[in-house]
Amino acid sequence: MQDVTRKLTLHSEVGRGGPLRDQPYISVQRRPVSTLERRPKTEFQPPLRIQSAKTSHPGERETNQDRVVIVAEDQCVLLAVLDGMGGHSDGEKAAQVAIDTIVAAFRASPRPLVDPMGFLRLAINDAHDAVVALGNTLPMAQKPRATCAACLIQEGEACWAHVGDSRIYLLRDDRVIQRTRDHSHVELLRREGLISEEDMLTHPMRNYVEFCLGGEPEYPGMDVSAVRTLEAGDRLLLCSDGLWGGLTEAQVASLGAAEEPPLQEQLEALADVAVAANSPYADNTTAAVVRFLSA
């Protein structure tokens, strides 16, 4: 029988803190996504120039419960990675329903988005509602769940949001400028100085998350970043724990630092490294990356 490490949920408010590197986070009041008004356009909008890549590797699992998307429309880019939680029923369905909900909200919203931070919070909450609905008739332990990372880029700026331990990295040159704080027990231990970054990868509670989409109907803890101005050459990487769990920070930071080979080849090679590092129990390994060239 295949040894599948289960990712369980801790129903705890402990660790609902800020980001790894003192990034301001903002809460917004809930209102329908459709009520977000269009921001007035300037007379001339230079084209948004980006390079992008995505990959999803099953690892050494029988099924791939991750989902990934990059949507570029009207000078606005949406990236999302959803990780269906394999320890729960229908993790694959949870990830698919959640990503479909987020993409539908994006396509239904006028762009440029007047409130990108608010959009992310509302769209992810709507995705949570959709995943909860999947499990309405199931016992709590069997309800489908997923972790989530989503990012918006428009007008030379980016903001992002996450729930669980799917991550977003901002990379510049060959450095990690910023990464999201996992909603996990081991991240809390790391922040308190009780374990190191390297210890997180082998800690016995590494697969326990505090927050996720699905399960209980209450909205999960979510971190939403402030809007950040991008510099030419910056990369935004979204990934499931199957990728970051098999890589060092230096390996992550190397993605896209060089223009060659093409970004798609670099991402696929990095995913292969992560799968090999996590063998023989490699999880689904999924990522999306955008290299910002100019607005």
Residue 99 — φ and ψ, nearest 5°? Answer: -70, -35
Q: Which two structure tokens, joined as six digits, stand for 20?
A: 């790894």
Asked whether residue 68 is assigned to any structural domain, the reply reads yes
The helix/strand/coil state of 123 is helix
Question: Is-contact 168 180, C-beta < 8 A?
Answer: yes
| Start-to-end C-alpha separation, the chain | 51
β-bridge mates for residue 153, sequence order: 77, 158
Bond into 204 cis (ω within 30): no
Residue 127's CATH number? 3.60.40.10
* Chain segment 2-60, per-residue pLDDT in tens: 333 334 333 332 232 333 333 333 333 344 444 344 444 444 556 789 999 999 999 99
Cα–Cα distance, 195 to 16 (Å, whole number): 18
Residue type, 176: V
Paired sense of beta strands 175-179 and 167-172, if any: antiparallel
Pairing of strands 157-163, 223-224: antiparallel
Residue 9 belongs to some domain of the structure: no
In a domain, 156, yes or no: yes
* Phi, psi dihedrals of residue 251, rounded to the nearest 5°: -65, -40
Beta bridge partners of 78: 71, 152
Domain contains 51: no
pLDDT at position 45, please?
A: 59
The percentage of the chain sitting over the pLDDT mark of 90, rounded to a whole number, equals: 70
Whether residue 84 lies inside any domain: the answer is: yes
Report yes or no on 240 lying in a domain.
yes
pLDDT tens digits for 138-155? 998 899 999 999 999 999
Q: Residues 6 or more apart from 259 whose CB is under 8 A from it? A: none
Which pLDDT value is given to residue 184? Answer: 85
Contacts of residue 94, Cβ cutoff 8 Å, sequence gap at least 6: 82, 84, 85, 88, 131, 134, 144, 145, 146, 213, 214
Instruction: Decide which of 177 and 204 is more confident.
Output: 177
Which tokens sit at 92?
A: 């694959």
- pLDDT number for residue 25: 35
For residue 118, being part of any structural domain is answered with: yes
The string of DSSP codes covering 38-93 is BPPPPS--PPPEEEEEEEEE-TTSSS--EEEEEEEETTEEEEEEEEE-TTSTTHHH
pLDDT of residue 185 exceeding 60, the answer is yes
Q: Which residues pair with 54 in a beta bridge?
A: 288
At 273, the amino acid letter reads: V
Domain extent, residue 209, equals 61-294
Per-residue model confidence (pLDDT) at position 281: 92
> Is 69 part of a structural domain of the chain?
yes
Residue 225's contacts (CB-CB under 8 Å, 6 or more residues apart) are: 19, 23, 24, 25, 117, 159, 160, 161, 168, 180
- DSSP annotation of 262 reads -
Enter the tokens of residue 66: 């991750």
Residue 178 pLDDT greater than 90, yes or no: yes
